[in-house]
Amino acid sequence: MTESWGNFKSFEGKKFKAMDAEFTNEVSKLIGGKDLTACFQCAKCSAGCPVSDKVNIQIHEVMRMMLFGLKEVLETDMVWLCSTCYTCQERCPQGIDITDILFGLKNMAFKKGITPAGYIGARKSLYDTGRLYEPTDWERDDLELNPVPEFNIEDTKKLLDKMKLMKLEEDE
Amino acid sequence: MTQSYEVFLGCAIPSRFNNYESSMRAVAKELGIKLIDFDGASCCGTVVLKSIDESSWLSMSGRNIALAEQRGHDIVTPCNGCFGSLKDTDHVLHDDETYRKKVNAALKPLGLEYTGKAKIRHFVEVLYDLKDEIETKIVKRLDGLRVAFHPGCHLIRPSKVAGFDDPELPRKVDELIELTGATSVHWDMKLRCCGSPLLIASEDVALKILQEKMISANGAGANCVVTNCPACHTQFDIQQLGLKDDDGNSLELPALFVTQILGAAMGLDLEPLGFELNRVSLDPINDILGL
Ligand code: SF4
Ligand code: SF4
């Protein structure tokens, strides 16, 4: 099965059209995005990143792709293989909120349908049940734990409807 | 002084690690920390919803904070994922007026408002405040327990949001662990992510990271891993089952919650500490724990 994500695998032999200023503008509006220009490519972010040796495109390269307005960045595996560990953000000498910017990129990719299948299922269960996982009642009985307090699904749904969670793709 | 908190369990603990909840409650009871059940919450959203849509995440998570605020309580959670998500939401809603207005406009019809009064704390933070008291309650020393403590990412990073411990040299939970007589070993992969958030995108990559972590823990001579998070624990007590290095040598080490070892050292009833539910065999450390 071909995945919808991570399909930009290498810069080798790639020719890019003119830089897309609109895309740069869009990503600079993400949470943390205003500092993109401060990145001086020291690659300290990639040095401490737990997936640097497991991805095709590393995080410091992602940072530069955004600044250059290369939309292909949404198709790099780094977007969804970022574990959100915040090591890069904690260590960036320029104080750039790298992980937060990546969350914004994930949002953009999701809207375009570039996402691991697991996220589609997770969205549905968060919307339908207000939670990701169901309680294991027999264990709770054995430990004499009270039932888990009721989740309020109706109110949560109202909020998620307002934010159009189930219609993100149509927002294009 | 009795402290009371609205306790936010999240959904991973009741689903997979009821022994964490149960041992937390036992320790809290012994220390006089009052835990009020958090009625009417929802999942915190976690990095999963934040990855899909930040506005949805902020409103789902912000609603939980606003609920506690309405009830005049602070929140305590034993989960790094919930802690990180709630703290991060608090941080964004506090600093970013546009998002705060957007979320509050959505909360208004539900009779809720976020103003930032409710504090969000991790259970280990509350424990650390009571360190001296815990020390007086240790009745059974766990000498010989060599702990690879895994703080997890969102307990300490980003430090300007988490605000708990030194992000490069965390020591606070280690100090609690060492109160029991156990040793918190130095291991070079200690600060590295456990890989758990990647289970949804790529189990292979998540397992590779876990393997690197466990090679490091074994190399440091640890005889168990200790965590304070159900998401991390999913890696250490579920994914770790049968884990081997590339030469086929077993890397398995027992995985415990910090509340389980504190409870054991405080001489609490073993039943609620829930050791029977630990999946990786505890045989190598049974004697030390008094099981
Ligand atoms: S650490 Fe910061 S400045 Fe250095 S390459 Fe990464 S983002 Fe750029
Ligand atoms: S937050 Fe993501 S990009 Fe940054 S170091 Fe961690 S895994 Fe790498």
Residues on chain A touching B54 (C-beta within 8 angstroms): 31, 103-104, 107
User: Is the Cβ–Cβ distance between B229 and A70 less than 8 Å?
Assistant: no
Domain around B252:
139-283
Ligand 2: lining residues by beta carbon, under 6 Å: A 48-51, 59, 82-88, 98-99
C-beta neighbour count of A121 within 10 angstroms: 12
Residue B133 to residue B85: CA distance in whole angstroms? 30
Ligand 2 test: best mutation among A52, A64, A86, A105, most atoms within 8 Å of CB?
Answer: A86
Ligand 2 test: best mutation among A56, A58, A98, A101, most atoms within 8 Å of CB?
Answer: A98
Residue A142 to residue B23: CA distance in whole angstroms? 13
Residues A103 and A145 in one domain: no
ipTM of the complex: 0.96
Residues A43 and A126 in one domain: no
Per-residue pLDDT of chain B (291 residues; tens, 9 = 90+): 568 999 999 999 999 999 999 999 999 999 999 999 999 998 999 999 999 999 999 999 999 999 999 999 999 999 999 999 999 999 999 999 999 999 999 999 999 999 999 999 999 999 999 999 999 999 999 999 999 999 999 999 999 999 999 999 999 999 999 999 999 999 999 999 999 999 999 999 999 999 999 999 999 999 999 999 999 999 999 999 999 999 999 999 999 999 999 999 999 999 999 999 999 999 999 999 999
User: What are the beta bridge partners of residue B34?
Assistant: B4
Closest-CA residue, ligand 2 atom 3, reads A82
**In degrees, to the nearest 5, what angle opens at C-alpha B123 toward C-alphas B122 and B124?**
90
Domain around A20:
9-111
Residues A105 and A127 in one domain: no
Of A111, A130, A153, the one marking the end of a domain is A111
CATH number, domain with residue A53: 1.10.1060.10
Whether residue B289 lies inside any domain: the answer is no
* Structural domains of chain B, count: 2
C-beta neighbour count of A104 within 10 angstroms: 22
Residues A48 and A132 in one domain: no
Whether residue A126 lies inside any domain: the answer is yes
